[in-house]
Amino acid sequence: MMDCAHYRRSMLIDPRDPNPELGLHRAGCHDCNRYTERLMAFESRLDRALRVDAPARSADQVIPLRARAASRVRSSRAVERRGWLAIAASVLVAIVVAGGLWLAVPGPSLAADVVKHMAGEPDAWRQTDVPVPESDLKAVLRDSHLQLNPGVGVVSYAQSCLFRGRHVPHLVVQTAAGPVTVMVLVHEPVRKPVQFDEQGYRGVLVPVAGHGSVAVLTRNKTVDPKSVEHIAARVLDAIVWTG
């Protein structure tokens, strides 16, 4: 399925691309539909700007009569200057709008980056009832200014991992549904919960007011998205923010 980043990059290359996949994505995505409306308005404005002609000089402006030469030259220059200013203003507006449209193209999604990070630590998914030492867990959580209540369950894995240029806690919590990965992303805010199902991982990104977000993932395909959300809620209830 086409994602928003692919759709918007394709539209920037050719806003009139007849690819049916683009039409299907647009029909099902409110944000990209609005983006397309802005893009087509920009295309129309740019087309009008490029069609503006510089004001032509009439014969009496090219070869003015001596008696009115000075005033005619000044008038002609003023008209010509206004014409070129109009063209410049139109093109400048077009450039500003285009810049805004380009910035609206999303980069790699946070969920995709979380899933990509999982591939680098396959040993973390062991099912076990042996918790990590308490001192190790506290050391991993300290820099993110949080602690975990015992109610979260057995934390069998705890590492401080480099993610998007920052170190974040990467935990594995043992649950009835099997091992669940938790990443505390204090520098990655999200506006609303985001469910994802990518490359064998099912999970959710949950916003945390003032503390970025928390990613919760499972590899158990029998766990439905609603159950993942319940696990995420339990994790959030166990977090105690210390700063």
User: Under a CB-based contact definition with an 8 Å cutoff, are residues 178 and 219 in contact?
Assistant: yes
Entry field: residues in the chain: 243
For the range 9-14, what are the long-range contacts, defined as Cβ-Cβ under 8 Å and sequence gap of 24 or more? 9/105, 11/35, 11/36, 11/39, 12/39, 12/101, 12/102, 12/105
Residue 131 token pair: 């918790």
The predicted structure's pLDDT at residue 170: 93
Residue in 36, 27, 45 with CA at minimum distance from that of residue 8: 36
Q: What share of the chain is helix, strand, coil (3-state, %, to 5)?
A: 50, 20, 30
Structure confidence at residue 62 (pLDDT)? 46
Residue ranges covered by each domain of the chain: 4-103, 110-241
C-alpha dihedral (232, 235, 237, 242), degrees to nearest 10: -130
CB 149 within 8 A of CB 155: no
Q: Do the beta carbons of residue 171 and residue 158 sit within 8 Å?
A: yes
Under 8 Å CB-to-CB from 53, ≥6 apart: which residues? 83
Q: Give one word for 6, left, alpha or beta, with left for phi > 0 and alpha for psi -120 to 50.
A: alpha
- What string of pLDDT tens digits covers the 243 residues of the chain? 567 777 888 888 888 888 888 888 888 777 778 888 888 887 777 777 666 555 555 555 544 544 444 455 455 555 555 555 555 555 555 554 545 544 444 445 888 899 888 877 777 888 889 999 999 999 999 888 899 988 888 999 999 999 988 999 999 999 888 999 999 999 999 888 888 888 888 999 999 988 999 999 999 888 888 888 888 999 899 999 987
Strand partners, 170: 159, 183
Q: What is the pLDDT of residue 44?
A: 78
> What is the pLDDT at residue 218?
92
Provide the pLDDT for residue 143: 83
Structurally, at CATH architecture level, domain 110-241 sits in 3-Layer(aba) Sandwich (3.40)
